[in-house]
Structures are given as structure tokens and as C-alpha cells.
Structure 1
Amino acid sequence: MPTLKAGRERSRGDARAHLAAVYAGKGRSPLLRITFFSLRHYWQASLAIGATIIASVLQLMIPRLLGHAVDQAQNVLSTAAEGAQQALLWSAVTLLLVSVARGLFTLVQNYYSESVGHHVGYELRLAFYDKVQKLSYSYHDRVHSGDLITLGLLDLDGVRMFFSTGFVRTILLTVLIGVGAYMLLTTDVVLGLLALSFVPFVAWRSSVAQLMLRATWVVLQERLSIMTRVMEENLGGIRVVRAFSGQLFELAKFDKASKAALELAHDRVLIRVKNTSMMTFSFFAAMGLVLWFGGNKVIAGDMSVGTLASFLTFMTILQMPVRQLGLMVNSFARASTCGNRLFAFLDLDIEIKDEPGAKPLKVTEGTLRFENVDFAYPSAPFRPVLSGVSFEGRKGQTIGIVGKPGSGKSTVAHLIPRFYDVTAGRSISERAILRRWRWPPDSDTPRSPTMVS
């Protein structure tokens, strides 16, 4: 048993450290907050970033090695020399080793990028659950559970994935596009410009498409939230629905919410298909131009076949990173939107607070007293529910609160365990104002007071 207790204490200590790290970035922009929070896992992040840079460099070496191998193969066919065959063999082995090494570093990049993301997700879920537990009853009275479910699933996942789909991908694309463009232009300026001619169009269309998809994704998220809310309300109140024969009405309401989400999902597919087709066409058009002008240079003897092959391989390698620019833009936009929503929730001020130095409440006499209590709900502060309520109850007594529906019977029951704070007057238990005391964590708090209308 001591081992379990020690393990539990260590776990709680880690949890407290994670919560402190989540709240430490309060006031920063969402993207900065997510980035610094992700970089807390420094060795996983360092391995992911280092592996990304090495894999990018190795990928850029492949076109040069392939072009060199093509030229050596042409020499073997023309001269049939034994030395040329040996050189071709070494080129093939080098190309194979570089490709394998690139695959291994890509594996390390993906593994540790996901590792950072899962660590971030775990810590954010801890903070989310902690905030849900600490928020007052009045907050949960105002907010639908379906909205909280959406926040804790979709928004948290958008923040979690930013490191791998946004931050690391930015480094990857910077190295591939920047260094790749430099290598093309230094080899042949005209062919380099032709090979890169598809880049601006693809980057533009990809960014526009992803921003459109991002905007529709936000709307889709809201529609899914509505659908989740309808489902949650029906599951929670299924007895009421069946008692009043409301099955057909509730099914129609859910069907309407489901169809709205499905139509928007179809629109997103159409946006993706149209823009992907245009980007693919521009890429093959640029490749046709490179083949035309490069082929003429090869025929004229101004360029080797291997150099032309390396140009075409460079284009193939650059195609995917350029198309991923839109995904990167989408990742930044999604992380910013989801981060705004998630951190706004995590940074909420707790309405029901204990005074500094509050002590655990110990019930001895069991005296409860209301002294001239006034109360209005936060959503309607100018509409008082209770006004000048005073009574006293002692241990063992049974108190009946009688009144018509809406007169404040449930409100009185909610004020006793401090689901809400009184607007005026005092709620006193054990000769002390309740906010100077806090319920001990292992106590049995009131849950189901009986109300009779």
C-alpha cells in the first residue's frame, strides 16, 4: 500500500505541474502559447526537428544522385567500360542508402512529432477536466454539455495536432522549397524558372482552398455541436420524450441537424476536388514545358540526360510540399481558432471562490441560517428570485419550503452548498459565512434535495 500511495502522490505532483504549465501562457496569442507549450517537451521536440531537417536534406540529395546515375548508365551503354559499370553500381548503392536513411529519419520525425502532440493532448485534457470540475454550478446551468464535449474533443484535437501538422511541417517546407529552388536555379536558370512556374499557382490555390475549407470547417463544427446537443438532450431526457410521445418530433429535429452537417461536408469535398484538379493540371503543364525545353537542350548537346532527369525528379519532390502549403495554412488557422476557444475556456474566471485561507468545513452542531438573503441569477441580474429570505435550521430538524412553481424553492437548495453566491445578505453555516469554509474533498455534499410543487 505505501507503494501505491507514493505513486499516487507522484502522479498528482506531475498533474499539478502540467496544470501550471497550461495556465502559464495566459495572455499570449494562441499560436505562441501552443508552440511554447509544445517545446516544453524539449528532447522529443528536438529529435523531431532535427530528424525533419536531416530527412529534408537527404531527400534533396536523391535527384542529384539519380541524375548522376542516369549519366553513368548512358556511359555504360556507349563505352561498355568495366569502370563505368562499377561507378554505376556504387551510385545505385549510394542512392539506395540515402533513400533508406531518409525513410528512417522521416520515421523518427513522425514518431516524435506525434509524441509531442500526444503529450500536449494529455496535459490539455487534464487542464480541461480540472476546469470543468472547478467551474460553478451556474456555469454548467448556462452551457450545454454538448458544447463542452465538442470543446474537449474537436478543439483540443486541433491544438494537439499543431506541432506535427503546422510547426514541423513549416520547417520541412522551408528546407525543401528554399534549398530545392536554389539548387534548380543554380543548375540552369531557364529550366529552373520553368520547373518552378507551377509553385506560385499551386501555393495560391492550395492556400485559398484550405482557407475555404477552414471557414466551412468552423461552420461544420458548429453544426456537429448542435447535432451532439440534440442527441445529448434526447439521451438525457428519453423518459420525458417517450412520456409525451415526442419521438417523431425529436427524430425530425435530429434529422434536420444531421442533413445540415452532411450538406456542408459535401460542399467541402467539392472544394477539395476542384482545387486539386487545377493544381494537378498546373504541375503537369510545367513538367511538359521542362520536357520540351530540356529535351531540345539534350538534343543540342547543351545538357545531359541525367541533368534533365534530376530536374524532373526535383519537380516531383517539390509538388507535394508546395501542395502542403495549404495544409500548413489550414493547420495554423485551425490551431488559432481552436486555441482561442479552448484557452478562453481554460482561462475563465471561477465565479464561486473561497476566501484566502479557507478551512475545511467541519459539521458539529449542523446549524444553517439565512439572514435577509437576496438573490438574482447572473443571466438576469435585474430580476430578483429571492428577496429578504431568513430562516434557521438545526441538526435533526425537517424544514418545508412551500411555494408555487418558480417561487425560488430550488434556488434556496442551490444556495446552501454554494452552487451560487448570494447577491445580498448572508448564508451562514456553523456560525460562519460559507465562503470562508470549503467542503473537504472526501465529504458527502448535498445532492438531491426533495422539492414538492
Structure 2
Amino acid sequence: MLNWIWTWLRPYKLRLVGALIALIFTAGITLALGQGVRLMIDRGFVEGSVEGLQQALFFFLTLVVAMSIGAYCRFYLVSWLGERVVADIRSQLYQHLITLPPSFFEENLSGEIQSRITTDTTLLQSVIGSSVSFALRNVLIFVGGLVLMLVSNLKLSLIVLFTVPVVIFPLLFFGRKVRKLSRDSQDKVADVGAWAGESLLHIRIVQAFNGEPHVTERFNGSVESAFQVALRRIRQRAVLIALVMLLVLGAVGGMLYIGGTDVLAGRLSGGDLAAFLFYAIVVAGSLAAVTEVYGELQRAAGAADRLRELMAVDPEIQSPSQPHSVNEVQGRLSLQNIDFRYPSRPESLALSGLDLDIKAGERIALVGPSGAGKSTLFDLLLRFRDPEQGLITLDGAPLKDLALDELRSQFALVPQQPVLFSASIRENLRYGAPDATDEEIEQAAIAAHADEFIRQMPEGYDSLLGEQGVKISGGQRQRLAIARAILRDPKILLLDEATSALDAESEYKVQQALDQLMEGRTTLVIAHRLATIAHVDRIVVMDQGKVVASGTHDQLLSQSPLYRRLAELQFRAA
């Protein structure tokens, strides 16, 4: 873990050196306090000299002031390093996460990932910002105190030294157990956060189905499981701390008896014994502190393992090292013999031998039963996933040869379930074009028939939408998603039932806006309601991952039994 942390500390070497100097300085001053104690006893109390006592006290207070200044510098520099390193880790971790394909987040709970970004990095900040420096300071005090003890009295020092290996072995033995239990504990806490976040996000469904007792029971079970794991970790650390205190303070007691005997026999002065006792207590305290910090370091090691594990995930979908550049995109798409299967369903093909050519500016409707592969086709075009076999090209260039940002900049997606962020309306629309002016944003909203309801909101375009746009209706969310696509002004439009959440009047108005938007652009429309695809150039019928028919509405009624059945079912219902 320390090697890994060093890679983050390396850019801040000067501050690290400053922190180490301050740390060594404060450790040295702490040890020098023992001499102040010796002078006060021998020159003040034993000799009965007020002047000697004053000089010793002045020396002692000077050391205290110097140690306070050093402690300020050490604390500031070390805390700065902890905050800076954790900010860098969070930033890089987030940058890495947003490069991972959607499939990664389908297999891993978002709440668990958020726990790693927040809880685990906070634990690291605590270790870097305090625990590591605290441990180093105590190690220096331990070593320095040990040296001074050996110099002042060898016999008493050997008594204290006898306990060191006896303490070290339990430290290593229990430390390994604490590390494993810390990792388990953090995993359990992450599970608690993930379940809480998911249930609160879908609170309407929970309450609509009277699911409060069920989710509470499951949450309490997760909390109790996390508590039990934490309890085992705490028990191991408690045993370790108690064992260290027993051994070390027992040794100090033995040393006091022998030293006291030497003072009574005149072989040792009271000041020397007091100074030695000071060093012995400092050494014992530093060893106990290192023992306690060692447990914190083991917890941090568990957190670092989880973070490194996340950073080690390689994106399955990446831009090529030398991407091909497409200057003037026309919007011609070609899919040749495409096979694709989802990793979660390896036994069945989602797309099988699919062939489809789309001319630049052509408007295509994709129809077919659920599971036919229509949405999967959109994922492949946006390179959220890559096919197992076959080739997809844009204006003759394979998608794998294009940089991801350049490829995706040619598309605008309007999903069936519109995605909005917990920001203002203006910020949500700017996802379509980050550099768009306020006037362009309003024009896009007018074209999507969203401007009217936006201006009726308390703060207009600066109104906050809440999490996932919870403050507005489904139809309003859909119109904002369409406005975002209009603002993007793409070469290729991907519409996944873009008007499904609208009432009849709004659907008519938005359909007019979409018809205008589709002019001169390649457009693919996933449609379940055949009445919404009257103005497309061609209808492609899909079933079981294949194109089974293609043509106009009238042609397909006579040529495709599947299309005819879908049409009859819908028109009969109407």
C-alpha cells in the first residue's frame, strides 16, 4: 500500500520533505524533554537550588515552544498532503470510471462503486494525513528513546528491550487478520450503502407496494452483517492493544523496581532514574501507538486494495492508438454479418448474421417484438459494445478505427426513458452542445415544444430538476431529451420511442419538430407504435437478432407475416 501511495506523493516531494523535517524536529524535541526533567530534579529538587530550578524550567519551556511550532508545521504539511493526494486519487478514479463501458456498470452496483470513491478514499486521507506521520513520529521516538536509554543505563534498557520481540510477533500475526477483516468490513458497508441508495431512489415503488417492511428488514440485515464483521475486526485489535500494554508496562514496572533499588543504594541519581523512566514511558507509548496505527494501516490497506482493483479494470472499448479521421461525415452506415451476445447470456445470440445498409440522410424505422435486437443495434453503433463478428462502418470507415469522442459526436440519442441530471434545465440541455449560447438553448426548447412549460417553472431555464428529473412529468422529460438532441445538431439521430411518453397533442407537435430535425440527417427510429413511423423512408423488421424484412408500410403488409401481425394487433386495439 505504501508503495502505491508513494506514486501519488511523488509530485509533492518538497512538501513531503518539509513534513519529514518537521516530524524529525518534533520527535527530537520530545526526546530532549527527558533532559529537562532530569535537570529539574537533579539541579532543582535534589540540590535545593531555586536558580537551578528556574534554569531547568526555562530550558523545558523553550523546548515546549519549539515543539509546538514544529507540531504546527508537521500537522499542516501532512494534512495538506493527505487532502491533496486523496483529491488526486478521486479525480483520476472518476476519470477512469467514466471511460468504462455501460456493461461494467450493469454488472457492478453503482452504490458500491460510490462507496469506494467516497468512504475508501476518506479512510486513505485519514491514514496519509495523520496515521502515517503519527506512526513515523512514534517510530523515531521509539528508536531515539531506545538509544538514549542504552546510553544512560544498559541494565535497565535490557529489561525494556526484552519485551520488543515479544510485542512485534503478535503485531504481525494480528495485523494480517485485521487487514482481511477490514476488507470484509468495507465490502459490507458498501453493500449497505448500495441497497440504501437503490431503495431511496425508487421510493415511490417501495411505498406504492407497501414494501417498507421488506426493504427495512433487508437493510437491517445488511447493517447487522457489517456490524458483525466490524466486531470481529475490533476484537482482534483490542486483543492486540491489550497484549502490548500488558507486556510493555509490565517491563516498565520491573525496570522501576530495579532502578529504585539502585537509587536507594546510591548507584543512580533520582534525576537519571526520572529521565530514564520518561524515556521508557515514551518508548512504551510510542510502541503502543504504532500498534494502534498498524491496525489503521491495515484498514487503509484494505481500502487501497479496493481502489487499486477498480483502477486496474481496463475499458473493453477504447479509442485506437492511431485513429482514422473522418473530415466530412455524410452519415452512411453499414452493418455486415454482425454477431453479438451479451456476457450474461452467452448461450444465445442477441444479433445473428445481421446485414443492414443505410444511406446518408435515409430515415429508417426498426420494428419487431421485444428482444429482437433493436436497442442492441444502437449500443453497437455508439460503441458501447463491440460485435463478436462482423464489421460496422461509418462512411466506409470501420467504427473501431475512429476515436470514440469523434464517433459519438456524430450521434444524438433520445432514449425511451429520458435521462436527466440533478442540475438546472439549462445545464441538462447543454449536454447536447457544451458551447451553446442561451439563445440557441431556448431555440432548441421551442423546437421541441418545451419552452412553454419551462417558462412556467419558478426559475425558468435555471430551475433545478431534482434527481433524474423527478420534479417534472414523463412527457416533459421526453421533450427536454428531444431538445437536447436538437441542440446537438448531429449527422445521425437515434430515436428510441422518442414520443412514447407524450400525450396526443404534444406528440403531434414534437413529431413535427422531429420531422424537421430529420431532414438531411441519417435517422434510426425504434418504434413499437407503427403510427409514429409514417414519414420514414424504409421500415426494417427485426426478429431474433436478424433482419427478416425491409420496405415500405404497404410492401411489408403484403410481404412480411410478422409485420402484418404486429400491424393487425395494433390497429385492432385502436
TM-score range normalised by the length of the shorter chain: 0.7 to 0.9
How far is the alpha carbon of 1:420 from its aligned partner? 0.4
Gap change, CA 1:256 and 1:349, over 3 Å in 2: same
User: Which residue of 117, 120, 132 maps to 1:152?
Assistant: 117
Question: Is the 8 Å Cα contact of residues 79 and 130 (structure 2) preserved in structure 1?
Answer: no
Please name the residue that 2:341 is paired with: 376
TM-score, reference length from structure 1? 0.82
Write the mapping of 1:133-172 to structure 2, written as runs, cut at 5 A. Answer: 133-164=98-129, 167-169=132-134, 171-172=136-137
1:445 partnered with 2:412: yes
Gap change, CA 1:200 and 1:357, over 3 Å in 2: closer
Question: Is the 8 Å Cα contact of residues 319 and 401 (structure 2) preserved in structure 1?
Answer: yes
Write the mapping of 1:4-403 to structure 2, written as runs, cut at 5 A. Answer: 30-77=1-48, 84-164=49-129, 167-169=132-134, 171-358=136-323, 365-381=330-346, 383-393=348-358, 395=361, 397-403=363-369
Question: Is the 8 Å Cα contact of residues 145 and 280 (structure 2) preserved in structure 1?
Answer: no
Question: Is the 8 Å Cα contact of residues 139 and 290 (structure 2) preserved in structure 1?
Answer: no
Gap change, CA 1:191 and 1:158, over 3 Å in 2: same
Question: Is the 8 Å Cα contact of residues 195 and 286 (structure 1) preserved in structure 2?
Answer: yes
| Matched AA of 1:428 | T
Question: Is the 8 Å Cα contact of residues 369 and 427 (structure 1) preserved in structure 2?
Answer: yes
Please name the residue that 2:507 is paired with: none
How far is the alpha carbon of 1:265 from its aligned partner? 2.9
Question: Is the 8 Å Cα contact of residues 155 and 342 (structure 1) preserved in structure 2?
Answer: yes
Corresponding residue SS for 2:317: coil
Corresponding residue SS for 1:446: strand
Tell me whether 180-189 or 432-441 shows the greater mean CA deviation.
Answer: 432-441
Aligned length: 417
Please name the residue that 2:382 is paired with: 417
How far is the alpha carbon of 1:222 from its aligned partner? 1.2
Question: Is the 8 Å Cα contact of residues 131 and 346 (structure 1) preserved in structure 2?
Answer: yes
| Matched AA of 2:120 | D
Corresponding residue SS for 1:355: coil
1:408 partnered with 2:379: no
| Matched AA of 1:401 | V
Gap change, CA 1:94 and 1:442, over 3 Å in 2: farther
Q: Deviations over 1:344-395 (max 9, x none)?
A: 3223322112234436767854333322211122445553211011234453
Gap change, CA 1:373 and 1:382, over 3 Å in 2: same
User: Distance in 2 between the 1:130 and 1:154 partners?
Assistant: 18
Q: Deviations over 1:108-151 (max 9, x none)?
A: 12221121121111111121111111111222222211221122
Please name the residue that 2:558 is paired with: none
How far is the alpha carbon of 1:316 from its aligned partner? 2.0
Gap change, CA 1:420 and 1:212, over 3 Å in 2: same
Please name the residue that 1:17 is paired with: none
User: Distance in 2 between the 1:401 and 1:326 partners?
Assistant: 67
| Matched AA of 2:200 | L
Q: Deviations over 1:171-191 (max 9, x none)?
A: 423422222112112222222
Corresponding residue SS for 2:413: coil
> How high is the sequence identity, in percent, across the aligned residues?
21
| Matched AA of 1:184 | M
- Where relative contact order (Cα < 8 A, 6+ residues apart) is larger, the structure is 1
User: Distance in 2 between the 1:350 and 1:277 partners?
Assistant: 47
Gap change, CA 1:332 and 1:254, over 3 Å in 2: closer
User: Distance in 2 between the 1:423 and 1:386 partners?
Assistant: 10
Whichever of the two has the greater Rg, that structure is 2
User: Distance in 2 between the 1:62 and 1:447 partners?
Assistant: 71
Gap change, CA 1:232 and 1:379, over 3 Å in 2: same
User: Distance in 2 between the 1:118 and 1:265 partners?
Assistant: 26
Question: Is the 8 Å Cα contact of residues 40 and 56 (structure 2) preserved in structure 1?
Answer: yes
How far is the alpha carbon of 1:334 from its aligned partner? 4.0
Gap change, CA 1:317 and 1:378, over 3 Å in 2: same
Gap change, CA 1:170 and 1:188, over 3 Å in 2: same
Tell me whether 146-155 or 66-75 shows the greater mean CA deviation.
Answer: 146-155
User: Distance in 2 between the 1:43 and 1:165 partners?
Assistant: 18
How far is the alpha carbon of 1:228 from its aligned partner? 1.7
Gap change, CA 1:74 and 1:236, over 3 Å in 2: closer
Corresponding residue SS for 1:63: helix
Q: What 5-or-longer segments of structure 1 have no aligned partner?
A: 1-29, 78-83
TM-score, reference length from structure 2? 0.66
How far is the alpha carbon of 1:99 from its aligned partner? 1.8
How far is the alpha carbon of 1:328 from its aligned partner? 4.5
User: Which residue of 407, 427, 434 maps to 2:399?
Assistant: 434
* More helix by percentage: 1
User: Distance in 1 between the 2:210 and 2:333 partners?
Assistant: 43
How far is the alpha carbon of 1:435 from its aligned partner? 2.7
User: Distance in 1 between the 2:26 and 2:36 partners?
Assistant: 15
Question: Is the 8 Å Cα contact of residues 33 and 63 (structure 2) preserved in structure 1?
Answer: yes
| Matched AA of 2:273 | L
Corresponding residue SS for 1:389: strand
Tell me whether 420-429 or 205-214 shows the greater mean CA deviation.
Answer: 205-214
